[in-house]
Amino acid sequence: MKNRLSKLYGAALAVALAPLGLAGLILLVNLFMLFPAPALADSVNPASYSANLSLGQSVTIVKTVIINAGTPTSAKVDVFFLADTTGSMGGAISSVQTGASDIITATSGLGDVAYGVGEYKDVGDPFVYRLNQDITKDTAAVQNGINAWTASGGGDWEEAQIYGLYQAANTSSWRSGSTRILVWFGDAPGHDPAGPSPGVTETEAIAALTAKSIKVEALDLGSLNATGQAQRIAGATGGHYHTGLNVTQIVNVIKEAIISSFTNYSTVSLGTASVPSGLTVNVSPPSYTGTYDRSIDRTFSFNVTFTANSLGEYNFAIPVLVDGGVMATEQDRIQVGFGLSFPLPGYTPEDAPVSAVMDNSVLERTPIKFYVPGDVIKAFNGETGAKQYGVKYMDSYGKYWPAYKNSSGTDFFPPNAGGQRPLNYLNGPYLSYAGNPGYNYQVPEGTPVLATADGKLYKAVTDLVNDAGYSYYYNSYIDHQNGYYSWYLYAPLSAAILAEINANGYAQVTRGQVIGQTKDDHLHFEVRYNGVDHANVVDPYKLGLWLQPKKKNKVGPWLYLLLGN
């Protein structure tokens, strides 16, 4: 049992509450709502950012954060109500239960707000600490958790709040990136240590709270701070100690305590924890640290550098963190590599009918495994279909692979007298064979030809590979404006495309657009990088650029070309 003074105090508060009634409480709530603090959303500019990068490429942008004056409306907040529910707390418990919906309504405007509920008593009672409701956005469940409080027990004067604070910090499901506020109210000091043996000390409770970045708003309804405990805990966690309260004030004080906890802040930073591993993000400065308040708008600028490490498309958010809590979020999209769809409708790189493949990269992979004696080169990319000059090779596992030899029946890449093959075949990503690099796809005449990606389409007046351009080979190319070019031979352009080229010098095309159709029985297709010369023809297999798209239905792989600088 608490001492006589504590009992009398609790009884007096209950008597004072009775004449006030629900109508009086609602009046107080309405008065409070008539004078709200100015509410503005903290922000970051740009709110979104998109870029295409090549492997190893970096780009730096400036992100400007504005922390507005007044009360935030875009925060991510977890609020936990921790009550002393021993015998003398009946009046306060009743007030909070009655006004819980008003507390939630008033604080939900802070942004993305979730709530949790817990209570503590003392050793010898049916429980020392109980989690009534874990952190949730289900406000009905929160109200039920608060309604579960019942004033009873208490034993001696001191209670087990130290243990309750420790348990609330460590056993609640605090959301990642949330601003965490624990509203604690009681009318008696706490044991130290508290709880089941060996108990939890004040030092341990503070360490648990600060480890989770939980601000404690301590509401003293009597003697909560008799030993200075409540004030020390609130101060150590960056919260506040509220004194001189009575039961009729508690609902409004709780609301104000939650809202006012955003008034002062000390650290502004950008969160990079959610950045995918395929990218590196560097933020400079890492953070701003000082003594700030929301009396005025404040601006903080960060240089953010994105560096591409792996092929892929990355969509992620970078949050604005104020004292570790999310106040605003901006969305980033970084694509490493550029998606080129296959140039023939209905085919993929694996199932396109190839009439000849000049693929030197088979020699880049273990020659013993991939080079087959007797003027045949085994393809490693798994193509199927009819092959001109083609044979089948069965490996040691009994699997048949398509294989190729040239029209004269000799080695594709004959070694010199010293046994060395030409340097271009052994190093680098380039294709070259008999003046005919690239891939010949054997398809019926009139097969539509598609633009592999956005870009500017030109007629090739003269191509050194074939000593002729569009007038003879119907040779054209798309400059993707990123260092890469898609080249087509034996693909006459459509009348509309030719008209646009004649008017502007080029035609602006988009991925998947039909640009022409095949002539004769095949399409010759190449990819060139960093120049239109034939020496720059690259091998997409050697570079590992064929990637499976992320789609529910099975479709053909897409060719991803790395963006140039």
Which residues touch 5 (CB under 8 Å, ≥6 apart)? none
Please tell me whether residue 34 adopts helix, strand or coil conformation. helix
The span from the first CA to the last CA of the chain, in angstroms, equals: 76
| Residue 427 or residue 460, greater confidence | 460
Cβ 189 vs Cβ 205: under 8 Å: no
419-426: average pLDDT: 41
d(CA 262, CA 322): 9
Note the pLDDT of residue 135: 98
What is the band of 21 on the pLDDT scale with cuts at 50, 70, 90? very low
| Residue 2 or residue 349, greater confidence | 349
At residue 507, φ and ψ (nearest 5 deg) are -115, 130
User: For 70-201, where are the alpha helices, taking DSSP H only?
Assistant: 90-108, 139-147, 161-171
A 10 A CB-CB count for 280 gives: 13
Which residues touch 117 (CB under 8 Å, ≥6 apart)? 80, 81, 131, 132, 133, 142, 145, 146, 148
Q: Which CATH architecture has domain 340-561?
A: Distorted Sandwich (2.70)
Candidates 3.20.20.70, 2.60.40.2310, 3.40.50.2000, 3.90.930.12; correct CATH number of 40-70+263-336? 2.60.40.2310
Cβ 65 vs Cβ 132: under 8 Å: no
Name the residue with tokens 């190319």.
477
Cβ 185 vs Cβ 250: under 8 Å: yes
76-94: average pLDDT: 96
Angle at 240 between CA 235 and CA 246, to 5 degrees: 135
| pLDDT above 50 for 387 | no
d(CA 181, CA 79): 5
Q: Residue 131's Cα: distance from chain center in Å? A: 31
Longest dimension (CA), the chain: 111
| pLDDT above 80 for 19 | no
d(CA 441, CA 522): 5
d(CA 209, CA 94): 27
Note the pLDDT of residue 470: 87
Token readout for 342 is: 């296959």
Note the pLDDT of residue 539: 58
Per residue in 276-323, pLDDT tens? 988 999 999 999 999 999 999 999 999 999 998 876 778 999 999 999
Cβ 439 vs Cβ 513: under 8 Å: no
91-108: average pLDDT: 95
Q: Which helix (H) or strand (E) holds 236?
A: helix 229-236
| pLDDT above 70 for 499 | yes
Candidates 3.10.180.10, 3.40.50.620, 3.40.50.410, 1.10.1750.10; correct CATH number of 4-35+77-262? 3.40.50.410
Q: What is the DSSP string of 81-100?
A: EEEE-SGGGHHHHHHHHHHH
Domain borders along the chain are 4-35+77-262, 40-70+263-336, 340-561
Per residue in 449-459, pLDDT tens? 999 888 899 99
Note the pLDDT of residue 10: 37
What is the band of 403 on the pLDDT scale with cuts at 50, 70, 90? very low
Per residue in 170-192, pLDDT tens? 999 999 999 999 999 999 999 99
Side chain identity at residue 304, one-letter code: V
> By mean pLDDT, which of 65-79, 142-156, 333-347, 351-365 is the weakest?
351-365
Token readout for 458 is: 């030109």
d(CA 536, CA 266): 55
| pLDDT above 80 for 504 | yes
Q: For the chain, what is the mean pLDDT?
A: 78
Which residues touch 349 (CB under 8 Å, ≥6 apart)? 342, 381, 383, 540, 546, 556, 557, 559
Classify the phi-psi angles of 190: left when phi > 0, otherwise alpha if psi is within -120 to 50, otherwise beta.
beta
Q: What is the pTM of this model?
A: 0.60
| Residue 429 or residue 113, greater confidence | 113
Cβ 215 vs Cβ 184: under 8 Å: no
Strand partners, 127: none
Per residue in 110-150, pLDDT tens? 999 999 999 999 999 999 999 999 999 999 999 999 999 99
d(CA 420, CA 181): 72
Sheet-wide strand order for 354-357: 354-357, 439-442, 522-529, 484-489, 476-479, 455-459, 507-509
| pLDDT above 70 for 493 | yes
What is the band of 383 on the pLDDT scale with cuts at 50, 70, 90? very low
